């Protein structure tokens, strides 16, 4: 199951909040209420500053969401489906089902988010000019802050280091000039890691000179960018290694299934203890109707195992939750990661179970290919 809270759908895209988002909401509210706004607009009560900080923090994340929706809408229009956007501690992430296979597509998707931030910055700046500072100082200060922060986000995101938007723009341009997406990604990732090291060093300098909070955030963001830059390049190599590989090439064919009418006690003794798998497809009348995972069993009080049937606790699935032997292994792995689901039954064209594939199956193939390249 996905970690976080599902909120709503926009343009067919599910919007979720990771639990870490609440941490940054509190930190942003606190820093704005007790640092930024008292300095920019002195003379108001603590409660007023807290209100300003909370409203500004929520609107800031609304701007981040619009930024990610711009990427997602453009991606969907260009044929690269995005199912979900997740807001978390460092901003937002749009989950691509697959990477662009053309530099022009990459460029269009990459610039959509910064373009949205630029438009938002201009709109908030114009609104702050309309709302009079003397007559409405609180509203004016909030609008001015949102104008400033959107421009700051624009500038930060356009730094030419992967995985920032500027890094994707740089990669698209380099890719178009050389025709080599691997090299373009490697160069953009190296720039991203270099920028991350700068943030970390600068952050430690700030901590040493007394700006502990600002320095700590610089270090944390630097670590995040460094890890994202490295993982972005590794993901590309992984997708290249899986190019042309079908699910039928990696799936396990001798599938052990559990009948849906069996009790939990029988399933544990005859299947989990015997085969040591973490989940099993559940069958009813010759059809796959669900998956029984170890955590499904753990969720049931042990005293009720003898009277509880598999069908009552299994994760129910339909044809849309299964894969085909002809499906791409790359797409399957992406789906596993985005859906937070580790194993998928594989059905043939008649809807009959012919195999099961897991992340472990695909990762073993990747390890094997990596070993051959050494």
Strand partners, 8: 15
Instruction: Give the whole-angstrom CA distance, residue 1 versus residue 370.
Output: 30
Please tell me whether residues 228 and 118 are part of one structural domain: yes
User: Integer distance in angstroms from the first to the last C-alpha of the chain?
Assistant: 36
Residue indicated by tokens 């001798």: 254
Phi, psi of 255 (to 5 degrees): -90, 130
Please tell me whether residues 253 and 237 are part of one structural domain: no
Residue indicated by tokens 């190599």: 237
| pLDDT score recorded for residue 372 | 54
* Alpha carbon of residue 57 to chain centroid: 21
| 302 DSSP 8-state letter | G
- Number of Cβ atoms within 10 Å of the Cβ of 210: 8
Which of 194, 225, 241 is the C-terminal boundary of a domain?
A: 241
CA angle 42/48/51 to nearest 5° reads: 125
| pLDDT score recorded for residue 185 | 83
| Tens-binned pLDDT, residue by residue, of the chain (374 aa) | 345 677 788 877 888 887 778 888 888 899 889 888 998 889 899 999 999 999 999 999 889 889 988 988 898 888 777 777 777 655 666 666 566 778 899 899 889 989 999 999 999 999 999 988 878 899 999 999 999 999 988 998 888 877 788 888 998 999 999 888 878 888 888 888 888 899 899 999 988 988 877 788 788 888 878 877 777 677 777 777 777 788 888 888 888 899 999 999 999 999 999 988 888 889 888 888 888 988 889 988 989 999 999 999 998 887 677 888 888 887 777 777 666 567 788 888 888 888 888 878 787 777 776 555 55
Please tell me whether residues 227 and 123 are part of one structural domain: yes
Phi/psi-derived region of residue 288, left when phi > 0, alpha when psi is between -120 and 50, beta in every other case: beta
Instruction: Give the whole-angstrom CA distance, residue 155 versus residue 234.
Output: 26
Number of structural domains (the chain) is 2
Please tell me whether residues 56 and 162 are part of one structural domain: yes
Residue indicated by tokens 């992430």: 93
| pLDDT score recorded for residue 118 | 95
Please tell me whether residues 112 and 49 are part of one structural domain: yes
Residue indicated by tokens 């944390």: 220
Strand partners, 284: 287
The length of the chain in residues reads: 374
Please tell me whether residues 209 and 275 are part of one structural domain: no
Please tell me whether residues 120 and 19 are part of one structural domain: yes
Please tell me whether residues 262 and 119 are part of one structural domain: no
Which of 225, 241, 257 is the C-terminal boundary of a domain?
A: 241
* Alpha carbon of residue 261 to chain centroid: 37
Asked if residue 20 lies in contact with residue 12, where contact means CB atoms within 8 angstroms, the answer is no
Which of 264-290 are b and which e, b meaning 16 or more Cβ less than 10 Å from the residue's Cβ?
Answer: bebbbeebbeeeebebbbbbeeeebbb
Please tell me whether residues 57 and 85 are part of one structural domain: yes
Which of 220, 241, 262 is the C-terminal boundary of a domain?
A: 241
Residue indicated by tokens 């640092």: 35
Please tell me whether residues 57 and 102 are part of one structural domain: yes
In terms of residue numbers, what domain contains 71?
5-241
Beta strands in the chain (DSSP E): 5-10, 13-17, 82-88, 91-96, 258-259, 279-284, 287-293, 315-316, 343-347, 353-358
- Number of Cβ atoms within 10 Å of the Cβ of 105: 17
Please name the helix (run of DSSP H) or strand (run of DSSP E) that holds residue 7, with its range, or none: strand 5-10
- Number of Cβ atoms within 10 Å of the Cβ of 222: 21
- Residue 215 tokens read as 């320095």
- Residue 8 tokens read as 């709503």
Nearest C-alpha neighbor of 207 from the set 196, 197, 218: 218
Please tell me whether residues 290 and 269 are part of one structural domain: yes
What is the pTM assigned to this prediction?
0.68
Q: What is the dihedral of CA 88, 330, 235, 69, to 10 degrees?
A: -30
Please tell me whether residues 161 and 232 are part of one structural domain: yes
Asked if residue 318 lies in contact with residue 297, where contact means CB atoms within 8 angstroms, the answer is no
Taking every pair of Cα atoms in the chain, the longest distance, rounded to a whole number of angstroms, is 76
Determine the angle formed by the axes of helices 359-373 and 212-241, rounding to 10 degrees. 80
DSSP 166-226: HHHHHHHHHHHHHS-HHHHHHHHHHHHHHHHHHHHHHHHHHHHTT-HHHHHHHHHHHHHHH
* Alpha carbon of residue 307 to chain centroid: 40
């Amino acid at each position: 199951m996905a970690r976080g809270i599902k909120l709503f759908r926009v343009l067919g895209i599910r919007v979720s909040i990771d639990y870490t988002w609440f941490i940054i909401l509190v930190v942003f509210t606190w820093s704005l209420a007790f640092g930024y706004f008292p300095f920019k607009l002195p003379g108001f009560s603590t409660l007023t500053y807290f209100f300003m900080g909370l409203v500004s923090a929520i609107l800031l994340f609304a701007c981040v969401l619009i930024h990610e929706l711009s990427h997602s809408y453009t991606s969907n229009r260009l044929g690269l489906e995005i199912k979900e956007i997740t807001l978390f501690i460092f901003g937002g992430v749009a989950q691509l089902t697959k990477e662009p296979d053309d530099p022009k597509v990459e460029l269009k998707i990459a610039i959509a988010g910064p373009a949205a931030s630029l438009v938002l910055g201009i709109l908030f700046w114009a609104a702050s000019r309309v709302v009079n500072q003397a007559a409405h100082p609180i509203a004016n200060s909030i609008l001015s802050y949102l104008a400033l922060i959107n421009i700051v986000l624009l500038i930060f995101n356009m730094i030419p280091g992967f995985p920032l938007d500027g890094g994707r723009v740089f990669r698209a341009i380099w890719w178009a000039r050389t025709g080599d997406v691997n090299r373009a990604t490697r160069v953009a990732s190296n720039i991203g890691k270099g920028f991350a090291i700068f943030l970390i060093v600068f952050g430690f300098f700030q901590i040493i000179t007394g700006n502990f909070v600002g320095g700590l955030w610089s270090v944390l963001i630097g670590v995040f960018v460094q890890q994202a830059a490295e993982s972005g390049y590794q993901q590309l190599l992984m997708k290249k290694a899986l190019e042309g590989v079908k699910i039928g090439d990696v799936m396990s064919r001798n599938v052990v299934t559990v009948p849906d009418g069996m009790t939990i006690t029988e399933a544990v003794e005859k299947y989990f203890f015997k085969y040591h798998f973490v989940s099993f497809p559940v069958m009813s009348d010759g059809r796959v109707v669900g998956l029984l995972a170890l955590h499904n069993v753990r969720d049931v009080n042990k005293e009720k195992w003898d009277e509880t049937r598999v069908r009552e606790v299994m994760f129910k699935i339909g044809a849309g939750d299964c894969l085909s032997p002809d499906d791409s292994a790359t797409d399957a792995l992406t789906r596993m990661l985005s859906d937070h689901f580790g194993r998928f039954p594989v059905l043939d064209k008649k809807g009959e179970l012919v195999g099961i594939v897991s992340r472990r199956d695909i990762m073993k193939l990747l390890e094997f290919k990596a070993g051959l390249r050494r």
